[in-house]
Chain A
Amino acid sequence: MIPVAFDYVRPESVDAAVALLGERGEDASVLAGGHSLLPLMKLRFAAPELLIDIGRLEELQYLRLDGDEIAIGAGTRHTTLEASELLDTECPLLPAVARTVGDPQVRHRGTLGGSLAHADPASDLPAAVLALDGTVVLRGPRGARRVPLTGFYTGVFSSVKEPDELLVEVRVPRTGAAGWAYEKFTRRANDWAIVAVAVVDGWVGLVNMGPTPLRASATEAALAGGASIEEAAALADEGTDPPADSAGSTEYRRHLARLLTRRALTTAGR
């Protein structure tokens, strides 16, 4: 399968990439790891006229403490998250979730920014950053803005990011020793999650339980109000709108959300 022909540029800096996006945003696509975009282009579901390759921009590849938060460059690869000692101590949920993405080859290429920008509700990292109450930093011709992930997604493959904006940074809180767990349910090695649940410090993020990654708000409220794990987990599918497909029915996904939330809360010790 061969993509439709396109032009390709590799800007030397974030400024240059942002300027190019400003000029060509409507018919250009940012190329990061390419592990969501290239498969779509090969199937000709996507046919951008221009690819702006940010995959080599070291400016976007960093992981550092910044006050109460950890600032992660959008170009940071899944492999780097997996191996980060900083994250292992400061935000252990993130590397654990990164380890469950695809396979080593995919993780050598895919990036955190690409994963969040792609806005696939079946992706692992968006729900994890959502459970962490993280923020993304966007840069475009009108300047930079911070958007909390709770307000970022608008639907399947869509977000409030404008076509001329570059996702430059992801910010997550330092959760340190707070309890956490990630329960990803698949039928075969290497599959995407049928449903997955990320828990950290009493916050709960859901994968594949609606058109966007979701927070299990009813569960979180119940926990905050002193409910037991069993009681709180029984509310995990409240307010969700799970898809039905060959991997499972809506009802099955609701069951999984409740079950995996109970397991994750138990592992996390709340």
Chain B
Amino acid sequence: MKVHITVNGVPADTDVEPRLLLVHYLRDTLGLTATNVGCDTSSCGACTVLVDGESVKSCTVLTVQADGTDITTLEGLSPSPDELHPMAAAFRQEHGLQCGFCTPGMVMAAVGLLEEHPRPTEREVREGLKGNLCRCTGYHNIVRAVLRASGQDPDAAPDLVAPGFSTGSGT
């Protein structure tokens, strides 16, 4: 099936099999390998990209479903290595990564989060990134990076020292 998809500002018409997953289109067809496949079961978030500005797990989207959309991957985020996107710069400044495997998905999810909540609380950052697993950092510095990228001082965030997490409630 013919699809027209714009990735990182570059439009392309491609003929794809309906079962081709978006993450494989990005990695194998386009050669954009920043987007990782971790769990392949929509749990880990390593494959997160922005589709029309919203974070999605590209291992659980068909390329044909993305026909006509505008996609941003980590490759398209920063103008150049010397001119990092504020989120990428904050991850570097706050040391928000160790092995780096989760980082492309984590950064894209964080960019999507700030689109929807420009000044999140520490709690909202944790809730907003709960679809992204990191096996290295313990999340602490990732949360700091996202707060910094939103223009807030992570050291001033009152509840940063005691991150709690509970399940949903009616209130």
Contacts and interface: CB of A to CB of B under 8 A. Distances in A.
Interface of A: 1-8, 10, 31, 34-35, 38-39, 42, 51, 53, 55, 79, 93, 96-97, 99-100, 102-106, 108-109, 180-186, 189-190, 199, 263-264, 267-268
A53 B3 CA distance: 15
User: What DSSP secondary structure best describes chain A's contact surface?
Assistant: mixed
Given A199-B170, A267-B170, 14 more contacts: A6-B19, A34-B60, A34-B62, A42-B41, A51-B18, A79-B54, A100-B168, A109-B56, A181-B171, A183-B167, A183-B169, A184-B167, A190-B131, A267-B171
B130 A103 contact: yes
B13 interface: no
Q: Interface size class for chain B? A: 35 or more
The 6 closest A-B CB pairs, nearest first, are A181-B170, A103-B131, A100-B168, A8-B18, A189-B130, A184-B168
Contacts of A55: 65
B64 interface: yes
Given A8-B62, A38-B62, A106 B131 contact: yes
B57 interface: yes
B65 A185 contact: no
Interface string B126-141: 1110111000000000
A106 B54 CA distance: 11
B60 A109 contact: yes
5 contacts: A5-B19, A34-B60, A97-B168, A100-B168, A104-B128
B152 interface: no
B61 A104 contact: no
B150 interface: no
B1 interface: yes
B41 A105 contact: no
A35 B55 contact: no
B18 A105 contact: no
Contacts of B131: 102-106, 190
A108 B54 contact: yes
A3 B167 contact: no
Contacts of A35: 42, 60
Contacts of A7: 18
Interface string B43-74: 10100100000111100111011010000000
B112 interface: yes
Contacts of A109: 56, 60-61
Contact of B167 (A10, A96, A97, A100): A100
Contacts of B43: 190
B40 interface: yes
Given A35-B42, A55-B65, A105-B109, A183 B170 contact: yes
Contacts of A100: 167-168
B168 A182 contact: yes
B1 A8 contact: yes
A2 B130 contact: no
A104 B40 contact: no
Given A8-B1, A39-B42, A264-B170, A34 B65 contact: yes
A104 B112 contact: yes
Interface string B72-98: 000000000000000000000000000
Contacts of A99: 168
B117 to A, nearest CB: 10
Contacts of B18: 5-8, 51
Contacts of B17: 5
